[in-house]
Structure 1
Amino acid sequence: MKYQKLFEPVTIGKLALKNRTSMAPMGPVGYADSFGGFNQRLQDYYVERAKNDVGLIITGICSVDTTIEGFPTVALPCPTTCPVAFIHSTRSMNDRIHAYGSKIFLQLTGGLGRSALPGFIKNNIAPSEQGNRFDPSVIHREMTVEEIQKLIKQFVMSAAIAKKADFDGVEIHAVHEGYLLDQFAISIYNHRTDMFGGSLENRLRVATEIVKGIKKVCGPDFPVSLRYSLKSCMKGLRQGGLPGEDYQEAGRDVEEGIQAAKLLVEAGYDMLNVDAGTYDSWYWNHPPMYFGKGVYNEYARILKQHVNVSIILAGRMDDPEMANAAIGDCCDIVSYGRPLLADPEYVTKIRYGREDEVRPCLGCHDGCLGRIANGPVCCAVNPACGREEIYGLQPALRKKNILVIGGGVGGMEAARVAALRGHKVTLVEKSDRLGGNLIPGGMPEFKHYDHELIRYYERQLELLGVEVKRNTAMTAAEASAFGADEIVVATGSTAIQLPFAGSKTAVSAEDVLMSRVETGSQVVVVGGGLVGCETALWLAQKGKTVTIVEKMPHILGGHGVVPHMNQFMLEDLLNHERVTIHDNAVVEQTAPDQVTVRKGEEQFQIPCDTLICCVGYRANDGLYNELAQGDVPVHNIGDSNKVRNIMAAIWDGYELGRNL
């Protein structure tokens, strides 16, 4: 076996696991039934991972009490809402999971505190009075001692219910990520002067009383894990610290993190599920693609030297060699979060030598946390995530001859799914490479997952026997004469190029990323959307002096257009790399060595060797419009239908391929 350590058995206390792999907890927002139990979609979601060799599943957060903060009753499962209904909905799921030899822990949360999105909860509470993380004008009042004691009791009751439902253990969420329990633990948030504030022991009292209560009620052998952030990685409120950046820690530093971990283990925790960060440095807890692999390895390695309980570790561990080497060095169990959203077969594939078939997580957050406020957790590259049974694939009743025109992600996904269902599929691509806009988009090292996704599709199309014709530009007449029963047009989009007054001609980000154009040392990027900002970051990291000129009031489309953690980190990286940003500004005039920018009534010049235009994309829908007048059914998907993102193109392709 190639990755021997990952697949060795291990124990947590007296609980035996078949291997050292785990599914990391990811919030099941929107997956609760009307009684606070697990709806059928959530049950199927966990079972799908269990049947693919995952040793331990840790569920996403389940509220211990919806009344304290006023959670929406359908937002999260809650064991205490109706214990009998909760047990009925989860015990049958656990029976299924145990049939595959997997174990499962129920993760329990006390709430969000100041980290709640404004409007998500009814009662704005916190350990001490303070402003909301996202909107400081929203004030969270200090919790009463009675409320705190009730919260502790609800944790203990929830664990007892979990044991009755045949969960193998529980995980307490969290002295981690700046959630409510973490706000008690960190002095920058906790200004109390009673038994729950002041000293470190007092600030940890909520967390230590919880585990002591659970052990008393559920017995000493019932495992209790703790989701634990060793370090807060924050420069101040709402200010994250980047990897490698020199700053003064404003939250929990490593020294206090070690001390706190020892106190928590002494109180009774059997395992620490290690990461770093808070909502103020949110990208640390939900690493975007701008992080490298093994985000938390150094922190887990530190803890492993100071505590004698099991360490479980996630954080971009989707490199099997690195994960295998981490066992014994910095952890006992490797945990996979988004990789198991993207590909529920991930563990099976690395176990049996099928690594080239793994569908990669892009780190985009578009399908998971980017949608969490408006819909259940899902995945940009796996449209069936969270709806495994109701949105799976069935063999086609009538096998058809399908022609797919365009080899971007939308076309490749439509071809893959149609072929899986038994259709005969031909995919034609006008260039010599599959991938479309992912090819230039994946050129920066921090976007290498885009190229891994292309390789995944190439391998899938090969395994499924899809005929792929590169260097084949197809006209409407040729497509109509092909003999297809149905035609899928996925011809993508083209970057919009604006003319600028003066002597300088702008180049496209694609030409720069593909090294067709060599930039000078002074670069001006017109357009501060995602493509413009990532191109600017890439060039700045290569030593260029870069300025972004954006006509709107904010780069990246404004707050929340790009998932928060990606937005915050990209903005911080641009600042760290000294990229100058002019918003509410336009380039009015160009000259050989400079551009003139107008911002309101102000006009000024910026040195410029290379001008890059990144103002969006235009759908290539001409071929579809021609074919739509013909006699063969034709479908238009992805950017050639409407310019959006990778997720939209893949979901279009899956939906169409599923129903051809």
Structure 2
Amino acid sequence: MSNKYDSLFTPLKIGSTTIKNRIVLCAMEGTNLVEGMMGYEFNKHCHDYYVERAKNDVALMVPGMVTVKSLFGDSWLGDQEEIFMGPVKKLMDEIHSYDAKVFMQIGAGMGRAMVAIPMLREQYYAQKQGKTLDSPVNIDVDRIFRSPSAGLPNVWDPEIKSTEMSKKEIHDIVKGFGKAAALCKKAGIDGVEIHAVHEGYLLDQFTIAATNHRTDEYGGSLENRFRFVTEIIQEIKRTCGVDYPVSVRYSVESKMLGFNKGALPGEEYTEFGRNLEEGIEGAKLLEAAGADMLNADNGSYDSWFWAHPPLYMPLSCNLDASAAIKPHVNIPVVCAGRMEDPNAAAQALLDGKIDGIGIARQLLCDGEYVSKISEDRIEDIRPCLACHNGCFGVSKYKGNPGSLPKGQMGCCAINPTTLQEQKYQITLSEHKKHVVVIGGGIGGMEVARLCSMRGHDVTLYEKTNELGGVFIAAGAPDFKEKDKMLIEWYKRQIDRLNIDVKLNTEIKKENLLSLGADELIIATGATPRKFAIQGADRDNVMEAIEYLRGKKTISGKRVAVIGGGLTGCEIAYDLILKGKKPVIIEMMDDILKIDGLSAANSNFLRDVFRRYKTPLYLEAKVVQINANGVVVATPQGEQTIEVDSVVTSIGYISSPIVEVGNVTTHIIGDALKVGNLMNVVWGAYDVALSI
């Protein structure tokens, strides 16, 4: 290991326990040891996930949060003796055999941050109207949305208002934490982490004056607002002993302009939630109550891009705030939030800014992340793109105030093996074949890599002079540094596997039979849709890829971006960063109407357009493009938007080569169906494992 990473691999004392290095795997939805919806059950998906990371030198692992009382039912976590003394204890014993440790993350609830999924919305509105639904599941929605004070708007559906939590409910939760922590200790779990003053969840709502309007001992002064969480810490210490470690997940600053308005990096604003001064004082209160560690970041669900930073957020975005509280406490401070660059992380430790590094999604993307650092294999780390597609694709747009992704959350868009280790295990094929892949984009490179790992003889054909396909254009903006890194990662993997790559070789339908393939994989991607309107061929009009690859140049400052999907909105953001003044023209009633696109990502872009006053023309159909600009038909009538240049981003059409002869043919990625990167990579795995 290079000396420059030594600081990452020194022990860290947390209360009475010591972890072997400074890497903490932070909790994520879907990585729960125990799930608690209607009742509680062991998460069977998590065993291989945690064992793999324990084997690969992660020092401390914090599984995803489980509430002390089941979300929709009346069961209590502290009563689940059979689960904890059965599969949980067995897993602890296995994890400990690799000298790794686990803190169980326990939460009080979500309050106004509860995702207003359709079932909850339906029952909420029916209950308010005095109706009873003909449903097999009737839920006390008032309890689900319970908050410090009545009338707070739900993050996802502001029409849903919270009810006030009673003191009895508070006291029951406090006792529940103590009982749950005692069971964790009995099961061999090394400590607990309170999902507390963090991300705008229930306990965080108590600590913030804007969401806590109480007049009893749990409201008013900062000390009173922190009373709920400090009583929880004290109760855990009372039931488990002062030596049992307690970490607190802690958002130092809320980064809120108001409800559902987040402050962007560098933006001047007045803090609506917790400012840095209160963040420092709150840290002192938590330590005084008995906390042994602060697992810190920033943000709330109203500014979700700080707590779950997407690709647009700078690396180490929460470091300054975490470093600001460290001089004021005597317990370790861990910082999370795009901290995966090992050079920056090691330097932050050397400079004494923080005591530990919180890593979450990067360890979904590559379970060997820590061991690769220790073995000086930095270039072999598969980079996390901060896309959130697999790990937290909770969408939010007009008409859909919160849809959960299909399938398992906590997965990874570019590493399907995460939480599915058995299903996507890469093994040698029983029959070695000559596999020919047509197309060198991400899908083609991935399927070629996997087939080679399975022992097949692989030839990869690419018609251009470089690998990467349309993803080269996707990764062109400056904020897409991880996209660029992923392309380079794939190139290195293909080179190490000695895959036969033939560049500048276009394969046409009539050539396919001459390639000598036993199995043929078509990964030719998609082609951009063309505008069939007057003026689409003007010199100042360009398609998204032409703009991103620099094949055409923007003239003037005013730019119309036609298409308010993800690519169009990212182009608009890129134009803003370059000092241009974009306008977005979208046929639908909202931009970014994409299921599976995380609200952490879309909210950032929406707040960018808010900050820079970017005009959004919704329900607008482009009629023509002329010398004056873009003519659009809107519900208010036809109008001309004066611009200097036009970028079109109106989608793509699959462009596969047809199946041929007697050769088994597979079509993958956008060539099969236009989708996102997760569809491309997961589809490549499915095909590669079938050969």
Query: TM-score band (shorter)?
Result: over 0.9
CA distance in 1 between counterparts of 2:220 and 2:414 reads 46
Displacement of 1:357: 1.1
Paired residue type of 2:359: Y
Is residue 2:366 matched to residue 1:343? yes
Question: Could you tell me how far apart the structure 2 residues matched to 1:487 and 1:25 are?
Answer: 41
Distance 1:605 1:391, change over 3 A: same
Q: CA deviation at 1:373?
A: 5.0
Cα deviation 1:312-369 (Å, max 9, x = unaligned): 1111012111000111522111121000000111111111111111111111111011
Where 2:610 maps in the other structure, the secondary structure is helix
AA of the residue aligned to 2:165 = M
Q: 2:90 aligns with which of 89, 92, 106?
A: 92
1:31 shift after superposition:
6.8
Please name the residue that 1:552 is paired with. Answer: 588
Q: Which structure 1 segments of 5+ residues have no match? A: none
Residue 577 of structure 2 is matched in structure 1 by 541
Structure 2 counterparts to residues 523-602 of structure 1, below 5 A: 523-557=559-593, 562-602=597-637
State the match for 2:133 in structure 1: none
Q: Which residue of 1 aligns with 2:651?
A: 616
1:28/1:60 contact within 8 Å kept = yes
Task: Please say if residues 102 and 191 of structure 2, whose CA atoms lie closer than 8 Å, have aligned partners that are also in contact.
Answer: yes
Which string of whole-angstrom CA distances, capped at 9 and with x for unpartnered residues, describes residues 351-391 of structure 1?
11111111111111110110655432201010111111343
The separation in 2 between residues aligned to 1:370 and 1:190, in whole angstroms, is: 29
AA of the residue aligned to 2:19:
L
Corresponding residue for residue 357 of structure 1: 380
Q: Which amino acid aligns with 1:343?
A: D
- Of 638, 647, 669 in structure 2, the residue corresponding to residue 638 of structure 1 is 669
What is the aligned partner in structure 2 of residue 453 from structure 1?
486
For residue 246 of structure 1, report the CA deviation from its aligned partner.
0.5
Q: Which residue of 1 aligns with 2:129?
A: none
Q: Give per-residue Cα distances to partners, 1:121-166, cap 9 Å, x unaligned.
A: 7432111112211112212211111111110111111111111111
Aligned 1:34-45 pairs, distance under 5 A: 36-45=40-49
Which is worse superposed, 469-478 or 203-212?
Answer: 469-478
Distance 1:94 1:246, change over 3 A: same
SS in 1 for 2:64: strand
- Work out which of the residue numbers 51, 54, 59 in structure 2 matches 1:50: 54
Structure 1: distance between partners of 2:495 and 2:18: 40
The separation in 2 between residues aligned to 1:30 and 1:358, in whole angstroms, is 25
Alpha-carbon separation, structure 1, partners of 2:313 and 2:461: 35
Q: Does 1:321 align with 2:343?
A: yes
Amino acid at match of 1:553: D
Paired residues of 2:405 and 2:596 also in contact (CA < 8 A): no
Spell out the pairing of 1:14-93 with structure 2 (5 A cutoff).
14-28=16-30, 32=34, 36-66=40-70, 69-70=71-72, 79-93=77-91
Alignment of 1:92-131 (within 5 A): 92-118=90-116, 119=119, 122=141, 123=143, 124-129=145-150, 130-131=152-153
Q: Which runs of 5+ in 2 are unaligned?
A: 121-138, 395-403
Q: Counterparts of 2:33 and 2:634 in 1: how far apart (Å)?
A: 47
Measure, in 2, the Cα distance between the counterparts of 1:14 and 1:319: 29
| SS of structure 2 residue aligned to 1:216 | helix
Kindly indicate whether residue 524 of structure 2 is the aligned counterpart of residue 491 of structure 1: yes
How far apart are 1:81 and its partner, in Å?
4.8
Quick one: distance in 2 between partners of 1:421 and 1:280? 45
Whether the aligned pair in 2 keeps the contact of 1:128 and 1:143 (CA below 8 Å) is yes
Q: Identical aligned pairs, as a percentage?
A: 42
Q: Distance in 1 between matches of 2:609 and 2:500?
A: 43
**TM-score of the aligned structures, taking structure 1 as reference length:** 0.95
Question: 2:407 matched to which residue of 1?
Answer: 375
1:452 CA drift (Å) = 0.9
User: What does residue 545 of structure 2 align with?
Assistant: 510
Q: Which among 312, 320, 326 is matched to residue 298 of structure 1?
A: 320
**Secondary structure in structure 2 of the residue aligned to 1:65:** coil
SS in structure 2 of the partner of residue 359 of structure 1: coil
Residue 32 of structure 1 and its aligned partner are, at CA, apart by 4.5
| Offset of residue 502 of structure 1 | 3.9
Q: Does 1:9 align with 2:11?
A: yes
Deviates more, 1:42-51 or 1:487-496: 42-51
C-alpha distance 14-33 of structure 1, shift in aligned 2 (>3 A): closer
Partner residue in 2 for 1:332:
355
The equivalent of 2:245 in structure 1 is: 223
Q: Any idea what SS the aligned residue of 1:283 has?
A: helix
Match for residue 415 of structure 1?
A: 448
Counterpart of 1:125 in 2: which secondary structure?
Answer: coil
Distance 2:489 2:452 in 1: 15
Q: Which amino acid aligns with 2:452?
A: A
Q: Deviations over 1:465-523 (max 9, x none)?
A: 21111111112332212111100100001111203314853311111111111111221
Give 2:280's aligned residue: 258
Distance in 1 (alpha carbons) for counterparts of 2:190 and 2:508:
60
CA gap of 1:593–1:93, structure 2 versus 1, over 3 A, is same
Q: 2:30·2:411 contact (CA, 8 Å) conserved in 1?
A: no
Q: CA RMSD in A?
A: 1.8
- AA matched with 1:375: G
What is the correspondence of 1:223-302 to structure 2 with a 5 Å cutoff? 223-302=245-324
Q: Using a 3 Å threshold, how does the CA distance of structure 1 residues 373 and 181 change in structure 2: closer, same or farther?
A: farther
